[in-house]
Amino acid sequence: MVTGSSGAIGRRVVRQLAADPDIHRIVALDRTQPSVVPAKAETHKTDILSDDLASLFAGANSIVHLAAVSGSLNDAEWAQTISRKVFRAAAQARVAHVVILSSGLVYGASADNPVPILETQEPKPHHLLEYAVAKYQLEQDARAWLEGDGAMGQTGQSGDPNRMLSILRPTTALSESGASWVAKALRSATSVRPEQVDPPVQFLHHDDLASAVSFVTKGQLDGVFNVAPDGWIGAETFRELAGEPGVRLPATVAKRVVATARRYGVGSIPAGIEPYVQFPWVIANDKLRDAGWIPAFSNEEAFVLGTPAPPWSMSAKRRQEVALGAASAGLAGVTAAGLALAKRLMR
């Protein structure tokens, strides 16, 4: 079962699961019907808040819960209501495996963060960034389902040892079809980033995020998994790829600019996002990689494909050269994903 199946990630997950010969049936749930549906998938126009989910979930091996992950600052309470109903229905239908999409933002951003962050680090989302707090709450509610918490109104056995929970914490995700809310918010905040602030950054292609979701679903992997490409982008490469201006605002001026923009509703810099562009929060993908997942895109490739170059930036050809050059460092040749990137950029 895939909730939110018509979204940017949901569409890709359904398509990738349908391509697996070992998966015989996929039920895609969303309020809107997708334009293209794989032959192996069946769609149900579903309102999670009002429809009987338990009957829909009956017989499912896994539930991939992707609904209400758009990142809107105004839907945190609504998203929690939806997620809790999904978990209650999963318990009633005795579904053994649930997959949820959290975020690397739950780790928080601070000067003393390790580079990179492992799954063993305790989450500490910035309290002013509602999206990160909402993702942390999603994880807590999912763990309550896993443990059979009666407070969630579940009917399953408390502490059912047969239940499995996959929590994915992706880094900033984007692609040719658009950027996530997180990517857009970080980009806006980067435009007024104070001087002498250059933490490492990461970018994950939507296809790789979907492949990670599909991978843990098919394998029914239990636990927390970071989702990111190998490594990260350093300050110099990022400045060249992003086309950042050479002069930045002093920290005090940058704070005034952001405060004024928020006061008058200009731009899209949410409260609490500043630490995430000032301090490191890059994550390690070793745990998921060791399980057998392999990203197809590098950080540089994902960023270039998902971020239009500003007018004053380098040419498309130069961005391609920088991205492919960084991505192929230490490799014997250019990957298939790199070749796809080059073809798209040279159009």
The pLDDT value given to residue 286: 98
Topology of the domain covering 2-175+201-232+282-299? Rossmann fold (3.40.50)
- The structural domains of the chain, with segments of one domain joined by +, span 2-175+201-232+282-299
The pLDDT value given to residue 71: 47
Q: Which residue has the tokens 């984007």?
A: 174
Tokens representing residue 218 in the block:
């098919």
Task: Kindly report whether the global pTM for this prediction surpasses the value 0.85.
Answer: no
The pLDDT value given to residue 237: 87
The pLDDT value given to residue 268: 64
Give alpha helix (H) positions in 220-273.
Answer: 235-242, 251-263
Contacts of 222 (CB under 8 A, 6+ apart): 164, 165, 166
The pLDDT value given to residue 331: 39
**Residue 233: which of 256, 262, 203 has the closest Cα?**
203
First and final C-alpha spacing in the chain = 38
Contacts of 201 (CB under 8 A, 6+ apart): 172, 232, 233, 238, 282, 299
pLDDT, one tens digit for every residue, the chain (347 residues): 999 999 999 999 999 999 999 998 999 999 988 778 888 999 999 999 899 999 999 999 999 999 974 544 456 788 889 999 999 999 999 999 999 999 999 999 999 999 999 999 999 999 999 889 999 999 999 999 999 875 455 544 455 788 999 999 999 999 887 777 677 777 665 655 555 567 899 999 999 999 999 999 999 999 999 999 999 999 888 878 877 654 555 556 556 655 665 565 555 677 888 889 889 999 999 999 999 999 999 999 999 998 876 554 555 556 566 666 655 543 333 334 444 444 444 34
The pLDDT value given to residue 160: 75
The pLDDT value given to residue 162: 87
DSSP, residue by residue, 31-88: SS--S---TTEEEEE--TTTS-HHHHHTT-SEEEE-TT-S--TT-HHHHHHHHHHHHH
**Residue 70 backbone zone (phi > 0: left; psi -120 to 50: alpha; other: beta):** alpha
